[in-house]
Structure 1
Amino acid sequence: MHKKNQFIVLWTLLVFMLFPLQALAVDYSISKVTIDAQVTSNGTVAVTENHTYKFQDDFNGIIREIVPKKGTSIHEFTASEQGKELKVERDEELYNIFRSGENETITIELRYEIQGAVDTYADGAEFYWPFFDDRNDSDYEQMTITITPPAASEKTAFTGYDGAYQTGSLQRDGGVQFDMGKVLAGSNGDVRVIFDKHLFPSLPQKDGLVLADLAADKEQMANDAAALLAKQQAGKSIGNWLIPAAGAALLALFAWAFSHARKTKQQAKPDTPHFFVPKQKMSIPATLYFTKSSILTPAVTAAALMELVRKQKIEQLSEEKFRLIDRNPEFIHEATLIELLFDKVGDGEIFETKELESYTKQELNHASYTDSITLWQQGIQEEVKQYELYGKHPLLRGIVGTSGLAFGVASIFFGLLELFPMMVVSIIIAICFIGFCFYSPITYKGHVIREEWKQLRTAMKNLEPTAWNHLTQDEKMRAFSYLLGADEKSTNLTTLSFTTAYSDSAFADFGLFYNPVLLTGLFVAAYSSTSTSASASGAISAGGGVSGGGGGSGAF
């Protein structure tokens, strides 16, 4: 399998292994949830829930998870839609309600009983329950929970925790309604209501007092809220000057980087109007890698072969036949290419193009050929790294990296203070600063190389024979080799036109039989042969609701 395809397959499998539910999830939202809990005098709570789902594609039903508190149990669970009963399958605390459809908005009514949910004390009867907790994977756009006593309660006390804090209001009958608004996935939101004790005459009384405990909780939450508010004010004061200052610094940083890169590029442009072939600074394959594309095509391999001919490491005997002269080239990637063509494909001294075709048609040789080409490409990359063509700016990187980490810490600080807009902006700033650590602009030397070879490519489109004839044989050979590798089309029409026009004068002294279509086609076929062969429900964790209870919603 081709390495790119292998990567795609492996990455896809990894996504499905790590996120199986998310990868197969139904596209939906829960726009409204109402929960009515009718508390009875015997301590059983009859619950009616209405869940409104908006589906954006095909679906098979909804999921409700109800995890009872310790000492309680769920019974008589049913589901219906507009009075029509729906099929329910239970898997421990998960209830799968079957209702298939496509692109619909539906409201499902759920009914169940909670047994053992009311505890009585000397000063009141308590219903303390988590209808959802941090196991919930879905947002509730609008949630309302109503707790109703068995009869009018005169001294009702109540509170809500986390997402339910300060959302409750006392009703005329002593019931409590929690208007919670939007509830985010992964949130907790326990509700706690204490009714008059005499409304539950048959329930056994537990030791202790409950009203004092609730009052202590309310006081503690009020103190925590006041402390949080004070910290938020301090955090806002810091963020109001820190974030704009960081934004201004980022703008200045990017403006400097753009201006510096543009100025360096302009200074590197050749100052001569005359046509010339750039001096040899890197090998032709490395020059192509740096100036044209980091993807080394079969055309670059063909250019690398002609580069070895130019350097007289290889002698071309005919269009299809080459003889090895020197096994000690200048670069490692050249030695790798020689080993591939003359040792693996040829007989150690002679390489013929038809042998490469035969070699790559045999599937047993595909891995060996691919490995050699990969090593050859890595060698070219290593050569380019030797020339310091990209600036490093270690001091600048250190400053912006430290700034990025600082804003990463600041984003955590703002998040803990629930200053979420500032948290998001701080994360963006942190990413920008840390991303700038990887800023490696092309150096003046690098721009000179790019601009010179760009000038060559442009000039050769309308080159006059007189200008061509003034070049040395070595310059002509380098120009043709570069043009051969730079031509992205396998037909190499541009290179072929120059070859036809200037082949006699260009290669007479080299004794070459230069055919760009044949050379590139040879390696394209080899690449095609080898690449064609190569391409031949989640666990529920412990939740955060009171006494281990809680739950959530979903769809399938």
Structure 2
Amino acid sequence: MNRLSKIMMLIIIGTFFIQPLPTKAATVWIEESLIEAYAAENGNVEVRETHTYEFEGSFSEITRTLPVRDGKTIENVRAAENGYELNVVKDGDTYAIQRSGQDEILTIQIIYTIVDGVDFYEDLAQFHWGFFDASNPTDFEDLTIQVWPFEPAEEGIAFGYDEAYGKESVMDGGAVEFYYGRVPSNRSGDIRVAWDAETFGQPADPGNGELRPELIEALRGIEEEIVAQEENSRLFGMIGLPIVLLYGVFLIWRIWKSGRNARKVRKEMEQQGTQPEVTMPALLYFMNKRLTRHEFPDETMGIALLELIRKGNVKEVEDGHFRLVDESGLKKHEQKLVDWLFKKMGSGTDFKMTDLSLYTLYEDQHNLFRYDDNVWKEMIKNEVHQEGGLFKEALMHRAGIALTSLAMLPFLILFPANGLPWHFLLSFALTLVAIGYAYFYRPLTLKGAAVKQKWEAIDRDYPKLETQKWDQWDEEEKLRVMLFGLGMEDKKMMRKNDHLLYEANHQQDAIDSVNNLMTYHRQYQAIMPTVKTAYETVDSTDRR
């Protein structure tokens, strides 16, 4: 039977970029990061980074990439843990800290100098830096950056780009703190901090001109860009939401139409009084799926063998010993079961329960047992889905509905990107509805609806059935219902079977019928322990 695969989307990977990263396959959580930058009188910037993170698994070293911009250089990179210096190996812009371990919580300090990190202008001195950029593959869980001037300043000018926008706060003495909190991967967050040039005791540099107008223009550009983004998000929401709602209306209409068609089939079935039957194994599979139970409980094999006895294809010679007397009129799965039990395990015409025990005793035959079991069960499914005519052909319809869910894919990406979480949740919910509908929708034919209605009613009402009404049933119907209850492992139906047989056993005119039912009940109890043990033995091998 063909099934549509469920579509899974959007995998987010993260650990931390400016970080310590393990070179081995370890899992790491960065719990806190503090970066402190101290501007020196000569324009150098001394940086101290403190990272606290947790490793799960083993690691051999910790790496940190220090991005460099505008032709500046980084010198004198050192690392320490609890005051003890660690060896650092440089490879381009990446520094490997020689520290190994397993399942640890570590706090590492990384210290370095940004040469000429402060740029001097006629009016201001500026520190413009990015401690991480869009190439950052991982997450900051809790990031704070602090920038300190050489001497206390009367004021500080500060703002940030992207993730740093709006995160600044100017403290007393002109120091600036950027509290980012959590920063997702692949995001930028450059900062710009400026103080009066006289704070550094450096002569003005008229060659660079004034910086203040540039900062004002840059900040205005950021604000205009944000306003434009907000307007674009608003417009996209105004355009996208009606499309998503229209798709929701389409899904509601499709579901309503499917329900109407199902009601139409039920009404037609009631008018015709159709009472079709399928083989007991196929019925058990059909009803187990509809009642959300296990598709093929172990009882299926025992019930299938009793069904062959009921139909006259097999007879019992003695307890646990059966003989094949007629192979005519068998369904494909019934023929497979006969070949499997009687011809592969048994002597050809005879099968004993001990044959099943011996067959599964040897582990080298378990794969063959599982193969035959799967083939047999697929043939049972085929009776339900193909030969039995219980379901309408709806593959193209289901595939079409699944494909329409692709219309939501752009919105699943663009709504979050435009800061529209509720729009995203709505489109995501509709996508799940469409995929769920395509996966589970299996419309019944007239025959399927009749089988479903009859046996759901029996499953519901049989435990409350009065003995007088049961007496009016013919023996064939009593037997099928008894086998159905046993095969479904329905405790209420099984208790009702025992009660009805006990009551009928005291009625002289029903002795022959009861004896026949009791015979099947005895055969079931004799068969099932061996069947269950066989499946448990094979399953134990599969688990190993």
- With normalisation by structure 1, the TM-score equals 0.70
Name the counterpart of 1:528. Answer: 536
Gaps of 5+ in 1: 1-19, 273-277, 537-556
**Contact 1:323/1:350 (<8 A) preserved:** yes
**In the alignment, residue 335 of structure 2 is paired with which amino acid?**
A
Name the counterpart of 1:69. Answer: 67
Fraction of identical pairs, as percent: 22
Instruction: Write out aligned runs for 1:446-525 (5 A).
Output: 446-457=448-459, 461=463, 471-472=473-474, 474-487=476-489, 501=505, 504-505=512-513, 514-525=522-533
Name the counterpart of 1:379. Answer: 379
For the residues of structure 2 that align with 1:23 and 1:492, how far apart are their CA atoms? 54
Name the counterpart of 2:16. Answer: none
| 1:289 Cα deviation from its structure 2 partner | 0.8
| 1:450 Cα deviation from its structure 2 partner | 2.4
Q: 2:287 aligns with which of 285, 291, 296?
A: 291
**In the alignment, residue 131 of structure 2 is paired with which amino acid?**
F
Name the counterpart of 1:331. Answer: 331
The 1:219–1:96 alpha-carbon spacing in structure 2 relative to 1, beyond 3 Å, is farther
Name the counterpart of 1:422. Answer: 423
SS class of match (2:67): coil
SS class of match (1:46): strand
SS class of match (1:297): coil
The 1:496–1:534 alpha-carbon spacing in structure 2 relative to 1, beyond 3 Å, is farther
Tell me how large the CA RMSD over aligned residues is: 5.2
The 1:512–1:504 alpha-carbon spacing in structure 2 relative to 1, beyond 3 Å, is farther
Instruction: Write out aligned runs for 1:106-505 (5 A).
Output: 110=109, 112-116=111-115, 118=117, 127-133=127-133, 135=136, 137-141=138-142, 143-151=143-151, 159-168=159-168, 176-180=176-180, 182-193=182-193, 221-238=222-239, 241=242, 279-292=275-288, 293-327=293-327, 329-386=329-386, 387-390=388-391, 401=402, 404-440=405-441, 443=444, 445-457=447-459, 461=463, 471-472=473-474, 474-487=476-489, 501=505, 504-505=512-513
For the residues of structure 1 that align with 2:533 and 2:354, how far apart are their CA atoms? 11
**In the alignment, residue 407 of structure 2 is paired with which amino acid?**
A
The 1:289–1:399 alpha-carbon spacing in structure 2 relative to 1, beyond 3 Å, is closer
Which of the pair has the greater relative contact order for Cα pairs under 8 Å at 6+ separation?
1
For the residues of structure 1 that align with 2:174 and 2:81, how far apart are their CA atoms? 29
| 1:288 Cα deviation from its structure 2 partner | 0.8
SS class of match (2:355): helix
**In the alignment, residue 526 of structure 1 is paired with which amino acid?**
A
**Contact 1:86/1:99 (<8 A) preserved:** no
For the residues of structure 1 that align with 2:30 and 2:178, how far apart are their CA atoms? 25
Q: Deviations over 1:227-281 (max 9, x none)?
A: 3232122123335655666667666766776787689779978999xxxxx9552
**In the alignment, residue 226 of structure 2 is paired with which amino acid?**
A
**In the alignment, residue 115 of structure 2 is paired with which amino acid?**
G
| 1:302 Cα deviation from its structure 2 partner | 0.8
**Contact 2:78/2:88 (<8 A) preserved:** no
For the residues of structure 2 that align with 1:357 and 1:497, how far apart are their CA atoms? 32
For the residues of structure 2 that align with 1:397 and 1:67, how far apart are their CA atoms? 50
**In the alignment, residue 337 of structure 1 is paired with which amino acid?**
L
**Contact 1:152/1:173 (<8 A) preserved:** yes
For the residues of structure 2 that align with 1:523 and 1:400, how far apart are their CA atoms? 42
Q: Deviations over 1:49-85 (max 9, x none)?
A: 56688x9x99999x986311344245233355xxxx4
The 1:258–1:48 alpha-carbon spacing in structure 2 relative to 1, beyond 3 Å, is farther
| 1:475 Cα deviation from its structure 2 partner | 3.8
| 1:40 Cα deviation from its structure 2 partner | 1.9
For the residues of structure 2 that align with 1:99 and 1:513, how far apart are their CA atoms? 65
**Contact 1:49/1:110 (<8 A) preserved:** yes
**Contact 2:36/2:145 (<8 A) preserved:** yes
For the residues of structure 2 that align with 1:343 and 1:357, how far apart are their CA atoms? 15
Q: Deviations over 1:408-431 (max 9, x none)?
A: 212322233233343333323332
Of 356-365 and 112-121, deviating more is 112-121
SS class of match (2:439): coil
SS class of match (1:113): strand
The 1:318–1:95 alpha-carbon spacing in structure 2 relative to 1, beyond 3 Å, is same
For the residues of structure 1 that align with 2:462 and 2:512, how far apart are their CA atoms? 17
**Contact 1:469/1:505 (<8 A) preserved:** no
The 1:157–1:446 alpha-carbon spacing in structure 2 relative to 1, beyond 3 Å, is same
Q: Deviations over 1:278-302 (max 9, x none)?
A: 9552111000111134521221111
| 1:316 Cα deviation from its structure 2 partner | 2.6
Name the counterpart of 2:5. Answer: none
Q: Deviations over 1:472-496 (max 9, x none)?
A: 554454334333322357x966656
**In the alignment, residue 433 of structure 2 is paired with which amino acid?**
C
The 1:370–1:493 alpha-carbon spacing in structure 2 relative to 1, beyond 3 Å, is farther
The 1:41–1:28 alpha-carbon spacing in structure 2 relative to 1, beyond 3 Å, is closer
**In the alignment, residue 521 of structure 1 is paired with which amino acid?**
P
Q: Paired residues, what number?
A: 496
